[in-house]
A and B are shown apart, each in its own frame.
Chain A
């Protein structure tokens, strides 16, 4: 999927709660305010689980 915006906007679009995930761009942690480039590979990692 190609997306133009920031990880915050991407998570909102995917209806994923920001508080429950960590975002890596091209394998590295980045602030979720970072503007994404067309070639960036975004990984959304769920880190908050019930239990």
Chain B
């Protein structure tokens, strides 16, 4: 990235230790079942496992064949089976079936079930009910945290969002607490903890309990502060189209576990290539946080720098540049290969995203965020639905509309839903039920129309009274109140001036200058004020259950001042790459280093997919 790094920015701690710990424990567990064995791996554990231990390592520890859990009867001939699974009822049920099937034909095998990252009583209970608990041994692989990059650590639990916020099932909270505890033991002691959201509070408490039970060896802290935030504190941000390079790659190609598969249209050959996207990739590292419109500039600059002999002019178009890179610089190793890949990716994205509809969609989104020309936005969404454009995109826009407007008018609510069902099938009745429960797509309650009025009144009277009015109104409508929040926190910059995306002014650059992500703004504000004082109004509107706790060693002068500048932000329910980019920007501005811990990397599509109910 072209931005100069502040010199006083501290170094991040080394998180590869987490990987080593996880690997050592896995090996230990595998050795608990001596002899050759077949290993069955839950499909969504495949990629994380791959980051921890490759096939060779597994083979070294007497793993014979590897299978993916597919909920079918198995074909293994091994007399020892090891299952590496998430603690899910469905999978445990399947294992019961496997064991019982073996019993029925009188086949004797040894079974070992390794739950990752922990087992639940419900799972063991099921094993018992199915009468197989005596036939197998169970273990826990406490692999809580997977470092995806120098500053991103993921719990790889995408179901956290749905389970916790929709189903009200809090079983993962303890897992989050344990993850925090692990980080605390390895990189703590944390001197200050900020948090907002119910789940954050619970995770915090669970962690404190674990601290109390265990003993903490005194050590010098690597990470000073922790910020916990619930995803449902800010649902607007993940629903916005991402326009920062990394986020855009995730939206279009779907980054899985820090790795993306570029199809033939990107690689300009007939095969797909898997690429690790992290700071090791020098090209990517420079463009990941850039607004998409700037990426080409960087890439071409890069190409120019690399290619000294052919110092061609700036008038290159994409195609020229692409041939230029792929032909002339092919011999020049990794960086050139990556450059060509990223140019390919950009080109492919360009094709999709510079089209008129994408521009229109962005415009609609921005209008929604600004609360401007809502009627037109509604007709745009309507047309989107009527033309049966993407199912998820339509839903995304509907949710954005509801979130920003604090619910739809009853008439719109019905008609849009009806049209949606006509387009995408009536089974989305269940999806709507879920969206409503989560507050993503709701009908305006009569009382809440006041907010609309309030914004009008607010324009008429002077600022001071407007503030009072806002208070009065928002106390009437306690629920998420985006418009008022946006005004209070100045989330939508004034649109009259041109926003120069080359020199970002604030975190809004990640959404083309149209919107500062609420989540990141809250973090910025709370850090700046060293707590929530002065933000009471905001937190009340979020219904946030905010808290801030200074640790026992808060006054400890031995704590490195560097550690105080490193802030661990834990998103419960997932965060987007755009938010990470925004935090990186904030860090550069203020001299912080953020480490993002998330239950999973999310984006609008993943978030909404988790709301679908067709196959649950």
Q: Decide whether A and B assemble into one complex.
A: no
Q: Residues of B with Cβ closer than 8 Å to A?
A: none
